[in-house]
Amino acid sequence: MAIIHFYEKPGCFNNTRQKQLLVSAGHLLIVHDMLQYPWVDNRQRLRSFFADLPVAQWFNPSAPAIKSGEIDPAGATESQAIDWMVANPILIRRPLLEVDGRRRAGFDADNIDAWIGLAEAKPDTAIDLETCPKLHRAKACQP
């Protein structure tokens, strides 16, 4: 059992499913609202969740500014990405997870299972737990 700090967008369908999987696997969650978290004072902390991921993978691809083309993650520098995310946390890839000081972004079930364990709660690999299923609605990811 791990104690997991889970940073989510409240009401996000996939975050709800992710939390259910983690609890089913026996983990204890401490849930944080990533939209209200004071990232402006915690820029280095935010950066630490992304470890060695390419900058483009730091972003929530379902965020309206990304879907509309207003923001292009592929061309962002680390500093620019953090600036954008601090100004608009909906851009941050979800969830952010922290266990015993180790941090990660996103919910790749295989990686989560290897890291802290999902056991029998691990979903079918065909199930996408990161892409918003509400893609048909233009404002599906608005805070």
C-beta atoms surrounding 1 within 10 Å:
9
- What distance in Å separates the CA atoms of residue 118 and residue 17, rounded to the nearest whole number? 13
Assess whether 12 carries a catalytic annotation. yes
Helix residue spans in the chain (DSSP H): 13-24, 43-48, 64-67, 78-87, 109-115
- What distance in Å separates the CA atoms of residue 51 and residue 115, rounded to the nearest whole number? 14
- What distance in Å separates the CA atoms of residue 61 and residue 78, rounded to the nearest whole number? 17
Set 6, 7, 8, 12: catalytic member: 12
- What are the catalytic residues? 12
